[in-house]
Structure 1
Amino acid sequence: MRTAIPSGVASTPRRRRRTGRSPWLHVVMIPLTLLWMSPIVFVAMISVRTFDDIAARGLSALPTSISLEGFATALSGGGLLRALGVSTLVTALAVLASLALSSWAAYALSRFRIPGRRAILLLMLAGNLLPAQILLVPVARISEGIGLQDTLAALILVQVGFGIGFYTFVLHGFMQGLPEEVFEAARLDGAGPGLIYRRIVLPLSRPSFAALAALATTWVFNDLIWALTILRTEAKFPISAALLNLMGGYGSSWNVIAAASLIAAVIPALVFFAFQKQFVSGLLVGSSK
């Protein structure tokens, strides 16, 4: 005669095995997290100290009092707020244009029989392997030749041009892995390529778009080399070039420079935390296949 075992009793050991975590994970990750956060904490501590305190006790000393002198000086001088607005505008337009164009290209290359599509994809990816330093002079000459030198439009075009190859490569790999049955069902219902792109491809590719948007925002927002190559007017400088000018004017005022660096990091941090869940999902897409 068999005795029935209550389901709760039978599932308890299995649940413990499933949810049990090794304490060594915390032992390893906590020091690594503290090490990763130490530069940010160090800059934040400097930003809330006064210039006299830093000059008297050095950079490594703990603050004796909290002062927002560095933030006030950074915001009042050097055009930091204007540069922050310029960077936000350039980043938003460049990221939106890059993802839109790369999604169209990835959709076409992954779902249509285009002659030489693999060569096209490899050529687009190879453009990102060229170091930016050898392209500074050609890009500057081209922007002068078409009359876009010292304009934000030229900076946006450069950011789009140098980012679209990598974004297309990533989106192509994701879109190629979408179930073919979904597309066949949509074609049987009479949906055309445009409708399939809007109703099927875009919703299913949301994790990839979020991951690329977070990465692209960081790259474009923090770019310095293309801003200095194309722009000449200080009023048009993005936040990275404005920080460089601020260091020239406040070279010894470490609290001002630290405060300005924290202000410049606000926008990328907000974007990353806004897309954090989708960003992790986009990185893990296909890991269970």
Structure 2
Amino acid sequence: MTAAAPASGAAEPAPPRRRRGHRIRTGRIGVHAFLLTVSLAFLAPLLLAVYASLRPYEETSEHGYFSLPRKLSFDYYQRAFSDSEMTKYFINTLLIAVPGVLITLFFASFTAFCVARLRVRGSLLLLMLFTAGNLLPQQVIVTPLYVLFNRIPLPYWMSDSMTMFDSYWAVLSVQIGFQIGFCVFVLANYMRTLPQEILEAAIVDGAGVWTQYLRITLPLCRPALAALGTLQFTWMYNDFLWALVFISDGDKLPVTSALNNLRGQFFTDYNLLAAGSVIVALPTLIVFLLLQRHFIAGLTLGAGKG
């Protein structure tokens, strides 16, 4: 007597479930290993500078920078801050970076609002002009700007030299002029993703242009503004070219020039110089940590949109 054949509609037994660990693909492990390697490569100079700044120069000169430490201290940080007069140079940098960031974001956000949210004739051409300005090498116009700023008069209360040359106004105007194009491009693309119905409802309620800009559009652009603010502060803070060209008075130079005061005429203590470099880099790190949440949100703008 033969066994009955299984019914054609009967379900076949399910294959055994694989372990969760087997689901991890080799490619994913390779990606994480690559990202970890790149991260360590970028952090290596900073970590080496911090490590060297905590060790005496005599020890590193005898045993090398990659040797085990015999003594660690923060003496170099105190010396670097006092010997280079960093307080004065920090104030000089803030007088350039803080107004520069605020003015750049204000003009860029309002221009992007006109281009993206208002029906302005020639808005696409205007956006292309702002974007094309970023392609111009800055070094090309150093000499024309140098001559121009020496011929633009300013009152004494604005500039000791009675011209834009040797004043913060020259550096500030160049920083704003070069950075505003990038900000307009980013903000205009972001504002186009905002629902148009929000502005239409505000117009129906009688909102004017400034109300649409200040009370409706800007609050929605907070992640983008925070991300751009972090980048702009970092770029303006670290810049040294324009201050070196347009400022002749050493007391007006930014904090990046304070590192030159740590160099000796015949001998340079590179551990002391490393401590000064770490101190100079701290403000940008603090700004990033304070705006980290908004900065990451700004980097992922539009990631979830179809």
Fold-level similarity (TM above 0.5): yes
> Residue 31 and residue 165 in structure 1: after superposition, are their counterparts in 2 closer, same or farther (change >3 A)?
closer
2:166/2:247 contact within 8 Å kept: yes
The alpha-carbon distance between structure 1 residues 149 and 84, as it changes in their structure 2 partners (threshold 3 A), is same
Q: 1:237 to 1:136 in 2, by over 3 A?
A: same
Within the alignment, does 1:53 sit opposite 2:59 as a pair? yes
1:126 equivalent among 125, 132, 139: 132
Q: 114-123 or 241-250: which moved more?
A: 241-250
Q: Select 1:253's aligned residue among 263, 269, 277.
A: 269
- Which residue type is aligned with residue 79 of structure 2? T
Do the aligned partners of 1:47 and 1:256 also contact (CA within 8 Å) in 2? yes
Report how far residue 55 of structure 1 moved. 2.4
- For 1:60, the aligned partner's letter is F
Structure number with higher helix proportion: 1
Name whichever of 266-275 and 237-246 sits farther off: 237-246
Q: Does 1:106 pair with 2:96? A: no
Instruction: Give the unaligned 5+ runs of structure 1.
Output: 1-12
> Matched residue of 1:130: which SS?
coil
Q: Which residue of 2 aligns with 1:69?
A: 75
The within-5 A match list for 1:27-176 is 27-146=33-152, 147-176=163-192
Structure 2 counterpart of 1:222, from 222, 238, 242? 238
Partner of residue 186 from structure 1, selected from 174, 196, 202: 202
Letter paired with 1:240 = T
Residue 46 to residue 126, structure 1, CA distance change in 2 (3 Å):
same
Alignment size in residue pairs: 273
User: Are 2:262 and 2:268, in contact at CA under 8 Å, matched by a contact in 1?
Assistant: no
| Equivalent pair of 1:107/1:197 in contact (CA under 8 Å) | yes
Equivalents in 2 of 1:186, 1:41: separation in Å?
A: 52
Change in CA separation of 1:33 and 1:107 when aligned onto 2, cut-off 3 Å: same
**Residues 250 and 207 of structure 1: CA distance in aligned 2, closer, same or farther (over 3 Å):** farther
Q: For 1:260 and 1:246, how far apart are their aligned partners in 2?
A: 8
Q: TM-score, length-normalised on structure 1?
A: 0.87
Deviation at 1:135, TM superposition (A): 1.2
In structure 1, C-alpha distance between the alignment counterparts of 2:59 and 2:72, rounded to whole Å: 11
CA distance in 1, matches of 2:278, 2:102: 25
Give the Cα–Cα distance (whole angstroms) in 2 for the partners of residues 177 and 78 of structure 1.
48
How far off its partner does 1:27 sit?
4.4
Aligned to 1:266: 282
Deviations 1:172-220 (A, max 9, x none): 1111221011111111111111111112101100010011001101100
Amino acid aligned to 2:274: A
**Counterparts in 2 of 1:158 and 1:43: CA distance versus 1, 3 Å:** same
| CA distance, structure 1, for counterparts of residue 143 and residue 124 of structure 2 | 30
Q: Could you say if the C-alpha distance between residues 48 and 212 of structure 1 is closer, same or farther in structure 2, counting changes exceeding 3 Å?
A: same
Matched-pair contact (CA < 8 Å) for 2:171–2:246? yes
Distance change (3 Å), C-alpha of 1:71 and 1:281: same
The answer to whether structure 1 residue 287 and structure 2 residue 303 are counterparts is yes
Cα contact 1:250–1:257 (8 A) shared by 2: no
In 1, Cα distance between the equivalents of 2:194 and 2:266? 53
Q: 2:170 aligns to what SS in structure 1? A: helix
Does the Cα contact within 8 Å between 1:70 and 1:255 map onto a contact in 2?
yes
CA RMSD of superposed structures (Å): 2.2
Alignment correspondent of 1:5:
none
Counterparts of 1:110 and 1:204, CA distance in 2: 14
Secondary structure of the structure 1 residue equivalent to 2:84: coil
